[in-house]
Amino acid sequence: MIHDAQIDQAAATALFDASGERHERRGRGAIGVVETSCGRCVIRHYRRGGLIARLSRDWFVWTGAEATRPFREFRTTQRLFVAGLPVPAVVAARFVRSGLGYRADLATREIAHARTLAERLNDASAAATIDWGALGTLISRFHAVGLWHADLNAHNILYGGEGHTFLIDFDRARFLAPLATKLQGNLDRLARSLRKLGHGDIVSSEAWTRLHRAYDAAIRAASAR
């Protein structure tokens, strides 16, 4: 297990033993929210997606502690947080060995009163207030430090209760060269997500154009520094 320096090993262990008050599904992870001495935390159990999930829903091949998905995600998210990017604060990550593999969990601070982009799009009044230009600028900030998000979709963009916007779920994310061309593929992934959710009209609308314009302008500004 690894954990934030502000909590001790016992508190970190207790996080994963606590009973969640509610559970929901967001992407492939099973989500629980628990009230602990560390405050309200989101506990995500790592699960597989796609066809391989039929063989094993939550078991991963062991290749060493530092190669485990929770440890990699913990360190990636922590690096982004320290850099001042809008991500949840990581609290702890653990794996439990199981034969030649492991199962795993990650704990992060809860973002209060958060709604995903997908949820806002399904609420007509909330959808009308989405600032697509600001979203493009937000994504550019991550690309400026070289962060490639493995699954940038409408469920992994969160709007907090105070109006702040966050990116979440950095499982399998990695750092490339800042402003690398490949990073722009994240926008294509987001567009596919919108189409899958029945909001494909956005991708061909002025809203998507505003997102791209703001993204491109921010990338140009970052390149000129």
For the annotated catalytic residues, the residue numbers are 151
Assigned token pair, 115 = 């709604």
Other beta carbons less than 10 A from residue 50's beta carbon? 7
Between CA 55 and CA 59 the distance in angstroms is 9
* Partners of 22 in the β-ladder: 33
Identity of the residue numbered 9: Q
Assigned token pair, 205 = 């609308």
Contacts of 201 (CB under 8 A, 6+ apart): none
Of 111, 128, 125, 188, the residue nearest 153 (C-alpha): 188
Between CA 2 and CA 110 the distance in angstroms is 18
